[in-house]
Amino acid sequence: GQKHFLAGYTDQKFLKPMLKITDSSWVKVTESPAGNTQVVMEERNRINGTCVRYNVTVTIAGNTMKLSAFNMTSEFHALPSCDGCMVYMINSTTKNAKHILQLMRLPHEDVPDEFSARSLYLLGRGQTLAESDMEHFKKQASCLGFSGEPDFIYNTEKSFCGEDEGFRLPHSS
User: Given this model, what pLDDT does residue 173 score?
Assistant: 54
Closest CA to 13 of 112, 81, 99, 79: 112
Q: Quick one: how far is CA 6 from the chain centroid?
A: 10
Answer yes or no: is 111 within a domain: yes
- Measured CA distances, 122 to 25, 95, 109, 163 (Å): 11, 25, 29, 21
User: Given this model, what pLDDT does residue 104 score?
Assistant: 64
Answer yes or no: is 98 within a domain: yes
User: Given this model, what pLDDT does residue 128 score?
Assistant: 94
What is the domain range of residue 139? 2-168
Q: Could you say which residues of the chain have pLDDT below 50?
A: none
Answer yes or no: is 114 within a domain: yes
Question: Which are the contacts of 73, defined by CB distance < 8 A and separation ≥ 6?
Answer: 66, 67, 92, 93
User: Given this model, what pLDDT does residue 63 score?
Assistant: 85
Answer yes or no: is 153 within a domain: yes
User: Given this model, what pLDDT does residue 94 score?
Assistant: 81
* Total structural domains within the chain: 1
Answer yes or no: is 20 within a domain: yes
The answer to whether the CB of 74 falls within 8 A of the CB of 61 is no
User: Given this model, what pLDDT does residue 17 score?
Assistant: 83
The CATH number linked to 146 is 2.40.128.20
Answer yes or no: is 22 within a domain: yes
